[in-house]
Amino acid sequence: MIFRNETTISLRTEKEAKTWFKTMLFWSFSIFFYSIVISGRILALIVEIKINKEKFMREVFPMPERQQINKSKKRVDARAKVTGKAKFGADLKFHNMLYGKVVRSNYPHARIKSINTDEAEAHPEVAVVMTAEDIPHNLFGVIIENQQVLAEDRVLYIGDGVAMLAADSREAAREAAELIEVEYEELPGVFGVEEARRPDAPVVMPGEENNQVIHHPLRKGDVEQGMAQADVVLERQYTTQFVEHAYLEPEAVTVIPEERNTLVTVYGSVQNPNATRDALATVLDCDLSNVRIIQDNMGGSFGGKDENISSMACRAALMALQTGRPVQLVNTREESIIESYKRHPYTMKYRIGARENGELVAMEIEAAADSGAYACQTPFVTWRSVVQATGPYEVPHVKTDTYGFYTNSPYTGAMRGYGSPPVIFAQESMMDELAWELGISPEEIRRKNMFANNSRTASNQKLDNHEVSLAEVMDKALEAIDYQEKYRRYSQPQPGDIKRGIGFAISYRGVSLGAEAIDAAGAIVSVQKDGSIIVYSGLAENGQGLKTIFSQIAAEELGVSLDRITHMETDTSISPESGSTVASRSTLMGGSAVKNAAENIKTVIKEFVAEEYDYQGEIVYRDDALFTSEGSKLVDFPELAASAFHSGVFLSSYGWYKAPGISWDEETGQGRPYFTYVYGCQAAEVEVDTGTGEVRVLNMAAAHDVGKAINPANVRGQIYGGTVMALGHALMEDLGFSEGYIRHTNFDEYLIPTIKDAPDNVEAIIVENPDPAGPYGAKSIGEPAMELGGAAINNALSQATGRRLRDLPLNLERVLLGRNLSREG
Amino acid sequence: MTEDIKFFQTDNLEAALELLVESSGVIKPVAGGTDLMVKIREDRELLQQFAGILDITNISELQGIAQEQDFVRIGALVTHREIIESELLQEKYPALVDAARAIGSTPIRNRATIGGNVCNAAACADTLGPLVAFEAEVVLASQAGERVVPVADLVEEPYQTIIRQDELLRHFRLPLPAEGTFSSFQKIGRRQAAAITRISLVLAARVSQGKVEHIKIVPGSAIPVPEPLTALEKRIKGQKIGEIDSRELSALAGEEMVKITGERWSTPYKKPALTTLVRRALVELKEVAENE
Amino acid sequence: MSKVKVAFTLNDQEISLLVQPGERLLDTIRDRLNLTGTKEGCGVGECGACTVMLDGQAVNSCLVLTAQVDGREVRTVEGLGGEEEVDKLQQAFIDHQAVQCGFCTPGMLMSARALLNDTSSPTREDIKTALDGNLCRCTGYKQIVEAVEAAAEAEGAD
Ligand SMILES: Cc1cc2nc3c(=O)[nH]c(=O)nc-3n(C[C@H](O)[C@H](O)[C@H](O)COP(=O)(O)OP(=O)(O)OC[C@H]3O[C@@H](n4cnc5c(N)ncnc54)[C@H](O)[C@@H]3O)c2cc1C
Ligand code: FES
Ligand code: FES
């Protein structure tokens, strides 16, 4: 999640986390000033934005004939993937490889009384058996270091590992794992945030005083004074569920001991190679340079292959070093669902005050997230919630508190959208409730309050350095789905059981990490002597298409065709550490770094061309050649590469991009939490069977301002995927939790949308208001695409039925009866 | 691999039946494997209980759909895909075809068999309802000979049938429906495809001269074993089609279900949902009858 | 242990092997034959990542015993394309951005190939039915449907 410029930052308590947060903010602030100096030109132009938008656009984005950018180029990895040649983590095999297996807790909370591994050790095919006793450095963690590689004396959730082994075959490993006997003393558990925050609640995390992981306050104006001015005050509670990432590929890692010059080399579906490297260096107590992570193709991640993969890599590494043999760990789907972290369930209390005409005057919000057994990324996830909780609306008086609490449920961490989908679900549902209460339309209430250029957010940030395009995205999405006509039609009485409704939601979303952490990324562009080009990036392909985007950017800058570029897998020993591939930051951060590297190369080329070809003017790079500004060809690119090489000129470069500055006051939540924002609107049309509770989403329209679409087909793909994922969360996804146990451990019960659940049509509308901060003006799309669907679908459903539901998922029982049913009663 | 079990394959029914008797331990038949393979994965020890697995998919006596004198024969090995594609079944037993269509997904329907669905006897098995509604019988074969049992009497409790270890389900016999028989199948799942049935309903009826002459109403996933809602059927049988009050009668269905199952955690949902399905089936029956 | 001898056609090649009685076709393909294009996503017939063609029909290889395919014909993603490196369907997946992470892709291709071999001009509903056993968490399915439609058209034009 975080970019770190020190080797290890290990925190064990909330207090330490806070101090660390402050340090980070100090750094961010310093960078802010630094960036003012270096980005003078941009800032000068930003001032101009208000004077003359068009002139500004022309100057910053002269947009000459582009050959790669804004084109739906085919994915660079598609061919390997359609032929079955692309290797994923579980596809690797190494000589003499062992198969690992982990024995997990049987209880959500228990003391481990004894572990007997004798029989397993005696198994003829077993090479090693280990427990926490054999692990001197047993703790790791990205923000707070309190996640156990294997549980020491207490298991804190159902997925905690207690022992592990490796054997010659998968079968033997499975068999031997069953021979390990663990004796537990079951302990009462803490489940749900309500229970966790009670003063007398048992403390989940050893060493803590209570169950609070973090608290982020935000104070603007005086909320009580605001409420007093309101004509209407609505108070509601919303909840969202635990959600499984359900990447199609279960986690897989292979660790090779002492390969080449490293202590361990790790291959696998690693979302954030640097974070996994940090965990390994901590647990193995070695230098970062001794750990090498090489990423394989990722069969989906969505934020979900981070801490759990780090944990697996640590386990496999320990066994690999113990045996001197490669060790592979591949989860079954059940293991994946039981062990991996989830999206945080939220309980959200909203109190909103508005005037009769719909104008918002005050919001009071409390959002509590279930962090499960570990801190994981809860401090940052809930931080994004605190920034976005009021939605994209101007509210003079705001009081928001977001919290995370430890419980004995599976731990929760990053998932596409991060802390925003739950609060958007609540807040955008609330907006409709309010409109209803006031007798105005959902559209009107939003138009009255939403951000425009120069609006001030709840953090009191003035939105003045980019186009605030809420009205534009909203207009476009609503038009595409024919909202007004359908809203009118579905507001009439509908005879029969089958009813239709239409609804929408809008959002603003901070781009990249914001004040979560220092925000910078790097890349390497290396021109070979035959003119082929190798790109390494610190941010990693997660299946979203990063390699294609980065290749397009490198190709664009150097004027070469895409097939000249080879984008390598992220390799921590080569690629510059760039923080995590999260927060939809790849295009903006990583893309800028690739662009910077290519620009550095062009600076060298310019000098070389001046000398070698006696041309001092602007060089135009296109069609695999260099041209003068008048259009006469100077030299073909491969020839240039060759002659540079033979003249001893180095055509490779690191590129680096540091995000513009930000600031944040931890006590009040005031400042500039993000350097820029994206805006989106999604609308959904649903059909509900009021006789059975079945809901079908007929159509969706999604308009997103992405700044600039480097690859429009890719952007659309993100939108289609994001909306359908949101549909799953909204209607069906349910882990069947009861008191820390998970009932739905495979895809027969944990249901995600099939092709028949996807809406008949999803209209993806790309809105482009280039942003000064991004490469070619590009911002982001991965997460915005999935944060709105839940609220839009809920609003559509409410219109259809005339009844408001406030808890996810909107399953058969809730829709038919207005409440959930469970086996436990 | 610890399981020391044997794998048998034969295309000869006699040989298969002989094997079931001769072997020292339990020989488990496998057809499409879509239930069995999942069970084995869930519980590895299951394999150890078998002395062997017998692949029956090549036995021709268990295959095919054919019309005989006064019934239609459906082999145990007929896949859900074959049911969907059969013009004969589409014409005679539309509710069965619709049930098959609602099962799992395409690759499952390509492989899973009607025999397997019935032998596995899950409460949510989708073909059981239509088979009971069409008053189908099964022909069970063993070395001792054949016995014929109504499908309605086959299932004792979920996952438990009266089929003996030494028997194979050979085929189903579905009486030819009388001219003008109407049938419908409805299913509610938690999603649009590959969904376990939350609740389903089969209605098969014949209206003659404005009166309901014959009616079968069988819910699925609502009661442990497939059986018709006989009290409700009695209320409807003989009634003039025009006088059927589908709203009132459908409410009785929910009550009859609760009488069979008692109140369960899922009852607050299943009761109104079943009521809806029955109401819709009756409304459709009326529409069809009135259009004739 | 009593191994079973099986002989079948895999991607147009005759092969013959000894397998365990309880061995899944998926494991035979991936582990014994090293064809790792076929994936495992759930092991219970729900995700479709393991889809292969058995006698021309799409089936979940995680639910098929290898011993059962004796004398039959099996095709995996590695066996698509034939002489060409990629066939029209695979090309359409590339062209229509129907691939994101790519984990579901081999299974999707096998289900779609089975459909196109049966039906030359499938409707959108036919396509959705043919792919209803293949989960994809990345794409939202839309570009996949478009790719199959385009492939049907391209193949129909031949
Ligand atoms: C992903 C998925 C989705 C599914 N969806 C549905 C659904 O929507 N609705 C539904 O009803 N079912 C569903 N099922 C369950 C299953 O597919 C069906 O029950 C199927 O019809 C079983 O047939 P089979 O041939 O695969 O059975 P098998 O697994 O081969 O056999 C099942 C059982 O029956 C026995 N058996 C099979 N044939 C005979 C015979 N001729 N004589 C004696 N014993 C025999 C076997 O020994 C075994 O115990 C689903 C399964 C999966 C994996
Ligand atoms: S692995 Fe076979 S269907 Fe998922
Ligand atoms: S492309 Fe990732 S699951 Fe389909």
* Domain segments of chain B as ranges: 6-54, 64-175, 181-291
**Whole-angstrom Cα distance, residue A27 to residue A662?**
10
Q: What is the pLDDT of residue A24?
A: 45
- pLDDT 10s digits, A93-105: 999 999 999 999 9
Contacts of A692 in chain B (CB under 8 A): 188, 273, 276-277
Q: Give the closest residue to A739 by CA, choosing from A210, A186, A183.
A: A186
Q: How many residues does chain B have?
A: 292
User: Which residue is it, tokens 């280039």?
Assistant: A770
Looking at the CA of residue A300, tell me the nearest atom of ligand 3.
2
Q: Tell me the average pLDDT across A280-304.
A: 95
Q: Which of A91, A552, A696, A755 to mutate to test the interface with C (most CBs of C within 10 A)?
A: A755
Contact A175 B280 (CB under 8 A): no
Strand segments, DSSP code E, in A305-356 are 327-330, 346-354
**In CATH terms, are A6-86+515-664 and A94-187+251-330 the same topology?**
no
**B81 CA to centre of ligand 2 in angstroms:** 19
**B37 CA to centre of ligand 2 in angstroms:** 11
| Backbone phi, psi, residue C125, to 5° | -65, -40
Q: Is the pLDDT of residue A48 over 50?
A: no
Q: What is the 3-state secondary structure (H, E, C) of A445-465?
A: HHHHHECCCCCECCCCCECCC
Residue C90 touches chain A, beta carbons under 8 Å: yes
The encoded tokens of residue A176 equal: 């031997």
The upper half-sphere exposure of residue A118, i.e. CA atoms within 13 Å in the direction of its Cβ, equals 2
**B156 CA to centre of ligand 1 in angstroms:** 17
Put residue C22 in one of left, alpha, beta given phi > 0 → left and psi -120 to 50 → alpha.
alpha
Ligand 2 proximity of C49 Cβ (cutoff 6 Å): yes
Q: Give the closest residue to A367 by CA, choosing from A253, A238, A259.
A: A238
Q: What is the DSSP letter of A727?
A: H
Residue C46 touches chain B, beta carbons under 8 Å: yes
Contacts of B200 in chain A (CB under 8 A): none
- Provide the β-strand partners of residue A351: A235, A364
Contacts of A181 (CB under 8 A, 6+ apart): A114, A115, A116, A119
Contact A300 C42 (CB under 8 A): no
CA of A818: which chain B residue's CA is closest?
A: B269
Out of 3.30.300.30, 3.40.50.620, 3.30.365.10, 3.40.50.720, select the CATH number for domain A6-86+515-664: 3.30.365.10
Strands A761-767 and A695-705, how do they pair? parallel
**Whole-angstrom Cα distance, residue A196 to residue A210?**
8
Question: CA triplet A691, A696, A698: central angle to 5 degrees?
Answer: 135
Ligand 2 proximity of C62 Cβ (cutoff 6 Å): yes
Q: Give the closest residue to A584 by CA, choosing from A246, A270, A268, A302.
A: A302
Contacts of C100 in chain A (CB under 8 A): 300, 543-545, 717, 721
**Helix runs in A52-144, H state only:** 53-60, 78-82, 118-122
Residue C1 — pLDDT band, cuts 50, 70, 90? low
Q: What is the pLDDT of residue A25?
A: 43
Q: Across all residues in chain A, what is the average pLDDT?
A: 91
Q: Give the closest residue to B55 by CA, choosing from B12, B21, B2, B119.
A: B12
**Whole-angstrom Cα distance, residue C158 to residue C156?**
5
Domain extents for chain C?
4-79, 88-157
Q: Tell me the average pLDDT across B199-226.
A: 95
Interface partners of chain B (CB pairs < 8 Å, 3 or more) are A, C
Q: Is the pLDDT of residue A388 over 90?
A: yes
Q: Give the closest residue to A523 by CA, choosing from A550, A544, A541, A545.
A: A550
**Whole-angstrom Cα distance, residue A531 to residue B131?**
70
CA of B271: which chain A residue's CA is closest?
A: A692
Q: What is the DSSP letter of B176?
A: P
Return the CATH number of the domain spanning residue range A94-187+251-330: 3.90.1170.50
The upper half-sphere exposure of residue A53, i.e. CA atoms within 13 Å in the direction of its Cβ, equals 9
Contacts of A235 (CB under 8 A, 6+ apart): A349, A350, A351, A352
Looking at the CA of residue C46, tell me the nearest atom of ligand 2.
3
Contacts of A821 in chain B (CB under 8 A): 265-266, 268-269
- In one letter, which amino acid is A720? Y
The encoded tokens of residue A321 equal: 């070093």
The DSSP code sequence of C63-79 is GSBGGGGTT-EEE-GGG
Rounded to the nearest angstrom, the gap between the alpha carbon of residue A618 and the centroid of all alpha carbons in its chain is 40
Contacts of B53 in chain C (CB under 8 A): 21-22, 65, 67
The encoded tokens of residue A34 equal: 């630094």
Beta carbons of A149 and A315 less than 8 angstroms apart:
yes
Q: Is the pLDDT of residue A59 over 80?
A: no
CA of A336: which chain C residue's CA is closest?
A: C42
The DSSP code sequence of A608-645 is HHHHHS---SPEEEETTEEEETTS-EEEEHHHHHHHHH
The encoded tokens of residue B51 equal: 């002395």
Out of 3.10.20.30, 2.40.40.20, 1.20.140.10, 3.40.50.620, select the CATH number for domain C4-79: 3.10.20.30
Q: What is the CA radius of gyration of chain A?
A: 27
Residue C44 touches chain B, beta carbons under 8 Å: yes
Averaging pLDDT over each range in A58-62, A79-83, A510-514, B24-28, which range is the top one?
Answer: A79-83
Looking at the CA of residue A247, tell me the nearest atom of ligand 3.
3
Contact A812 B276 (CB under 8 A): no
Candidate from B1, B105, B107 with C-beta closest to C22: B1
**A286 CA to centre of ligand 1 in angstroms:** 53
Q: Tell me the average pLDDT across B146-165.
A: 96
Q: What is the 3-state secondary structure (H, E, C) of A96-156?
A: CCEEEEEEECCCCCEEEEEEECHHHHHCCCEEEEEEHHHCCCCEECCCCCCEECCCCCEEC
Ligand 1 proximity of B169 Cβ (cutoff 6 Å): yes
Q: What is the pLDDT of residue A541?
A: 81
Contact A75 C95 (CB under 8 A): no
Domain extents for chain A?
6-86+515-664, 94-187+251-330
Contact C133 B105 (CB under 8 A): yes
Strands A98-104 and A327-330, how do they pair? parallel
The pocket around ligand 3, CB under 6 angstroms, is made up of: A 248, 300, 543; C 99-104, 136-139
Domain spanning B64-175, CATH class: alpha beta
The upper half-sphere exposure of residue B255, i.e. CA atoms within 13 Å in the direction of its Cβ, equals 7
User: Which residue has a Cα nearest atom 2 of ligand 3?
Assistant: C101
Q: Tell me the average pLDDT across C133-146.
A: 98
Q: Tell me the average pLDDT across A242-248.
A: 98
What percent of chain A is modeled with pLDDT above 70?
92
Rounded to the nearest angstrom, the gap between the alpha carbon of residue C85 and the centroid of all alpha carbons in its chain is 16
User: Which residue is it, tokens 């892709």?
Assistant: C105
Residue A50 — pLDDT band, cuts 50, 70, 90? very low
Contact B37 C62 (CB under 8 A): yes
- Burial C78-96, CB ≥16 within 10 A → b, else e: bbbbeeeebbbbbbbbbbb
- pLDDT 10s digits, A153-196: 999 999 999 999 999 999 999 999 999 999 999 999 999 999 99
Least confident span in A772-781, B165-174, B182-191: A772-781
Q: What is the pLDDT of residue A143?
A: 79
Candidate from B2, B266, B277 with C-beta closest to A821: B266
The encoded tokens of residue A635 equal: 């030299």
Beta carbons of A236 and A425 less than 8 angstroms apart:
no
**A248 CA to centre of ligand 2 in angstroms:** 10
Least confident span in A51-65, A153-167, C118-132: A51-65
Beta carbons of C115 and A734 less than 8 angstroms apart:
no
Contacts of B272 in chain A (CB under 8 A): 691, 816-817
User: What is the CATH architecture of C88-157?
Assistant: Orthogonal Bundle (1.10)
- CB-based burial label for A646 (10 Å; 0-12, 13-18, 19+): exposed
Q: Tell me the average pLDDT across A558-569.
A: 94
Contact B107 C48 (CB under 8 A): yes
**Whole-angstrom Cα distance, residue A304 to residue C140?**
18
Is the predicted ipTM greater than 0.90, yes or no? yes
**Whole-angstrom Cα distance, residue A115 to residue A79?**
49
Question: CA triplet A264, A267, A270: central angle to 5 degrees?
Answer: 110
Residues in C 118-147 with any Cβ partner in B closer than 8 A: 129-134
Beta carbons of A316 and A127 less than 8 angstroms apart:
no
Q: What end-to-end distance do the CA atoms of chain C give, in Å?
A: 51
User: Helix, strand or coil for residue A186?
Assistant: strand
Contact B279 A691 (CB under 8 A): yes
The encoded tokens of residue A364 equal: 């009071």
Q: Is the pLDDT of residue A27 over 50?
A: no
Q: What is the pLDDT of residue B5?
A: 86
**Whole-angstrom Cα distance, residue A680 to residue A703?**
6
Residue C139 touches chain A, beta carbons under 8 Å: yes
pTM of the model: 0.94
Return the CATH number of the domain spanning residue range B181-291: 3.30.390.50
Interface partners of chain A (CB pairs < 8 Å, 3 or more) are B, C
Residues in C 37-66 with any Cβ partner in A closer than 8 A: 37-47, 49
**Whole-angstrom Cα distance, residue A363 to residue A346?**
18
**Helix runs in B136-266, H state only:** 230-236, 246-261
